Structures are given as structure tokens and as C-alpha cells.
């Protein structure tokens, strides 16, 4: 098992590379049917004449897959607990895409009020099999000091 990382183990510029996640049309439609029921996420035919010009994953589905890859690649002790995230979608995730996530620590700020912890700002780029950026998320994640 990967060694868990505490606040003292992290530094600005550290990079974490994830494994891969392949997304199918079926998964895109299943996620959208429950959480983002719009024609361009639900049906190839209906998607053709929309802004996306074909079936596209919900941006929130790309976020969810990014989290899955993030959990598998950034072993912060106590788990990945987010205070928030600023997400941009530069292009949609498509059926058949294989995604991976490159995460880079941008900043580390010790808490003033709680000396046992800090907030780590991490940029996670979600990239498809052609090397194209689908999503950039800059997230604020809790990290704890060694007990």
C-alpha cells in the first residue's frame, strides 16, 4: 500500500500522476439519466443537432471520474477532504475516451486557527488519450500534520 502523506510531506510543485479510466456511452447515459438529464448527454441522435454535435459526458461526470482517479493517486493521510474546487471544462469528455489526471500542488497554507492542519491547493488536469485537456480543477484539500 502506498505510504500516506501528511502536511509535512507535501511541497509546492509536487506532481501526482493517476491511472486511467475509460468511459463508455452507456456510462455517460446512465450518469446523465440520474443527474444531468439533457438530450446531449442522453442520446446520440438527439445530441447531433446540439452545441456538442454528438454525445458528450456531463461535466459533473468528468468531475466524478476525476475524483476517482484523484483518490487513486494522491494518498493524503485521513483521506481527500475538499473544501471546494474551481472547475473549468475546456472540451467535453466523449464516449470511448480514456482519461487520466495529473495533479500538481500549487500552494500549501497552514491553518491559523487549527495548528494540526493546513489547506493544500491542488490543480488537477483531466486529459484524454490524445493529450487534450478536458477539465482543469483547482481544489482546496485538507491535510493534517503527523500526530
Q: Which of 122, 120, 57, 52 lies closest to 87, judged by CA?
A: 122
- State how far the Cα of 27 lies from the Cα of 33, in Å rounded to an integer: 10
Closer residue to its own copies, CB minimum distance, 75 or 95: 75
Tell whether residue 37 is a contact of its own copies (CB under 8 A). yes
Tell whether residue 6 is a contact of its own copies (CB under 8 A). no
Q: 28, 29, 55, 58: which one contacts its own copies (CB under 8 A)? A: 58
Closer residue to its own copies, CB minimum distance, 13 or 74: 74
- State how far the Cα of 19 lies from the Cα of 109, in Å rounded to an integer: 28
Q: Which of 11, 30, 46, 2 lies closest to 120, judged by CA?
A: 11
Tell whether residue 34 is a contact of its own copies (CB under 8 A). yes
Q: Which sign, positive or negative, has the C-alpha torsion 9, 13, 14, 19? A: positive
What is the x/- site pattern for its own copies, positions 60-89, by CB under 8 A?
xx-xxx-xx--x------xxxxxxxxxxxx
Residues forming the site for its own copies (CB under 8 A): 31, 34-40, 50-52, 58-61, 63-65, 67-68, 71, 78-89, 142
Amino acid at each position: 500500500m502506498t505510504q500516506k502523506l501528511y502536511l509535512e510531506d507535501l511541497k509546492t510543485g509536487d506532481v501526482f500522476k493517476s491511472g486511467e479510466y475509460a468511459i463508455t456511452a452507456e456510462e455517460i447515459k446512465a450518469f446523465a439519466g440520474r443527474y444531468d438529464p439533457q438530450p446531449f448527454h442522453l442520446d446520440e441522435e438527439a445530441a447531433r443537432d446540439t452545441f456538442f454535435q454528438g454525445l458528450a459526458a456531463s461535466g459533473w461526470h468528468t468531475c466524478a471520474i476525476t475524483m476517482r482517479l484523484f483518490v487513486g493517486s494522491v494518498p493524503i493521510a485521513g483521506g481527500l477532504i475538499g473544501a471546494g474546487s474551481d472547475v473549468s471544462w475546456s472540451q467535453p469528455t466523449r464516449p470511448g475516451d480514456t482519461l487520466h489526471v495529473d495533479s500538481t500542488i500549487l500552494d500549501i497554507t497552514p491553518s491559523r486557527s487549527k495548528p494540526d492542519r493546513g489547506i493544500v491547493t491542488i490543480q488537477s488536469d483531466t486529459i484524454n488519450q490524445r493529450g487534450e485537456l478536458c477539465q482543469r480543477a483547482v481544489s482546496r484539500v485538507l491535510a493534517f500534520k503527523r500526530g
